Structure 1
Amino acid sequence: MVSLTVDLISKSNHFKKQRGISFAQYLKTLTHLHFSNKNIEEIGDLSVCGNLSVLYLYDNNITQIRNLDFASNVTHLYMQNNNITHIDNLHNLRKLSNLYLGGNRIAAVEGLEQLHHLKELHLENQRLGPGEKLLFDSRTLLSLAETLCILNINNNNIDDITELSVLKNLQHFSAALNKLQSIEEIEEVLRLWPQLLLLDLRGNPVCKELKYRDRLITACKSLEMFDGRKVSEATRRFLLWKKSRKHLEEKKQVHTLSANDHLLFNRYDTELCP
């Protein structure tokens, strides 16, 4: 079993290129650790690397997040394309802002309640079992409501995003290649995301709905990119104008019908009660 330890670090080319410092000094000053695509299966004791801020461990065979209690200075953690099944043992990473966990086997988004600085969360392409979809723990969502700006949940069999509406500071949201069908539900969520700039829902059944693009642009007035296409201010103004005009016409029609109904009632009243 290949384990990421200080011994493995000592054999790395990066350390061998260093001149004039001892290995102990190197470990204490180490801020970036690159060990992607090294067949690593577990994280060993790295507690001497107290200044580590960025850890690259993508494209390995890691099954469990562990031994990161020391990593209080880590801001970026790249662990995509491993075999991780649960989001565990991240509570001490209090400075973590960017978390990359795409391409694993995670079925539930949980265990992030202590990460009060998390801004980016990438969970795309989980390798789920038949009939499974990515689920979200309500406590985790509430804990991220104020900080999370970017969320990527592409290709995870998701059919409803209503519970994500609490993430009121989202700026980028990608949920392409899922199973979203209800345009009404999506409209309601978008109205609760006033800062959303980028939205990607390509490959969902909802994309086939009549006036799908127009409806969601008018529901979210801050959008700049939608399904890979820029939303111009002129387009937004035109769609909002069309919507308001339609609303006024419908309102006017209701008043006209009401007046007609009133005249009709008076006519029948006169005929029945001469």
Structure 2
Amino acid sequence: MQDSESISVNGGEDKDFVVVERPTARVVLPANGNGADVNGDTDDESHEDEEQGEVGEGDYLEDFPDDTEDLELIHARLSSLTCLRLERFGNYLKKLCLRQNAVSQLDPEVFGVLKKLEELDLYDNKIKTVGEALNELTNLTTLDLSFNLLRNVPEGISHLTSLKTVYFVQNRISKITSLESLGTTLRSLELGGNRIRHIEGLEALVNLEELWLGKNKLSKLESNRITKIEGLEMLVNLEELYLSHNGIERLEGLENNLKLKTLDLGTNFIPSIESISHLTSLEELWLNGNKIPTLQELEPQLQSIPTLETIYLEGNPCQQAEGANYRRKIALALPQVKQIDATYVKLP
């Protein structure tokens, strides 16, 4: 139901002023008329309709005023947005959340009128293509298309020139494309859990600060591994980089990423940490689940990084080789470190 609208009036000697908190709609759709309620309780005959996300006819947002700025319709079994009559909110709507529904197609006529929209959340639906549906959303700053069925980065994203944050987690994307026009605005890009084999198509994103590429297929096809990290040379403002669960063999290719604060390379094939001492802004380093055999090289490579506070090395051969002395030896070699794996450092 709609959150109550609060109005406060302050009197003054010359004039009064009114502050209005715009209404936010957190919508719970009624039973769809075929025996299924919004909590998922169904009889046997209604099960198929529920899986298809049918909610029946009617204007489910009729109780909400035209100037509603925030709409949330989560897990509402929506397969079509036509019944919502979203065009009515076109002059005011800034946030639209449609998480965990069954939406498979995005209609340009529905989204084309929502030109004030700043945040669009379509997490966990059944979207395969976006087409031109979002092309008019030039004020959009955040877009979440995670857990859908996308095979490509939507070409239409090039029209969304105000985008700062984009989520494409857990789709079927195999190649990074169509991001060139977002070079000056995009700050955060999440592409984890896809099928990407090469880091490419990022050259224009010179202001990117956060990049997630974990759980992809970064490797050379002939060896199922990648000898070093490539494709990040132009990302000079990158502060957080997540490349865990790939096929990376060498900790190289980060020569220009001097602003890195968080580097996650967990669960790869890295045998040493050479070529990292230049990352003097680094605060967190994740190397758990790699192939580092000993702790001997830690001190010369990492002691010159005064900002380093957290390091993850568990699951490497060096942990087993050192046994009970593993964390103590790291703490003595790197006195600036405050956390080793999930344990805070406590030395006498």
Same fold (TM over 0.5): yes
Superposition CA RMSD, Å? 2.2
Q: Which residue of 1 aligns with 2:254?
A: 141
State the 1:182 CA deviation.
Answer: 2.1
Q: Does 2:156 match 1:45? A: yes
Q: Which residue of 1 aligns with 2:90?
A: 20
Give, as a single letter, the amino acid of the residue that structure 2 aligns with 1:36.
Answer: S
Q: Does 2:266 match 1:196? A: no
Aligned residues: 216
Contact 1:65 1:84 in 2 (8 A): yes
Contact 1:141 1:166 in 2 (8 A): no
Q: TM-score, normalised by structure 2?
A: 0.58
Q: Does 2:182 match 1:182? A: no
Find the aligned partners of 1:180 and 1:104 in 2 and give their Cα distance: 22
Q: Which residue of 2 aligns with 1:241?
A: none
Give, as a single letter, the amino acid of the residue that structure 2 aligns with 1:80.
Answer: G
Give, as a single letter, the amino acid of the residue that structure 1 aligns with 2:233.
Answer: E
Q: Which residue of 2 aligns with 1:120?
A: 240
Give, as a single letter, the amino acid of the residue that structure 2 aligns with 1:219.
Answer: A
Where does the alignment leave 5 or more consecutive residues of structure 1 unmatched?
1-10, 239-274
**More helix as a share of residues:** 1
Contact 1:110 1:136 in 2 (8 A): no
SS in 1 for 2:296: helix
SS in 2 for 1:188: helix
Where does the alignment leave 5 or more consecutive residues of structure 2 unmatched?
1-79, 92-112, 118-136, 219-225
Find the aligned partners of 2:235 and 2:251 in 1 and give their Cα distance: 16
Specify whether residues 25 and 226 from structure 1 end up closer, same or farther in structure 2 by C-alpha distance, changes over 3 A only. same
Find the aligned partners of 2:88 and 2:317 in 1 and give their Cα distance: 54
Q: Which residue of 2 aligns with 1:218?
A: 332
Specify whether residues 159 and 25 from structure 1 end up closer, same or farther in structure 2 by C-alpha distance, changes over 3 A only. same
Contact 1:193 1:220 in 2 (8 A): no
Instruction: Tell me which of 174, 178, 196 is aligned to 1:67.
Output: 178
Q: Deviations over 1:9-37 (max 9, x none)?
A: xx879994881232455411100011011
Specify whether residues 192 and 95 from structure 1 end up closer, same or farther in structure 2 by C-alpha distance, changes over 3 A only. same
Q: TM-score, normalised by structure 1?
A: 0.73
- Structure-to-structure mapping, 1:211-250, within 5 angstroms: 211-232=325-346, 235=347, 238=348
- Of structures 1 and 2, the larger Rg is shown by 1
Moved >3 Å (runs of 4+)? 11-18, 23-26, 133-137
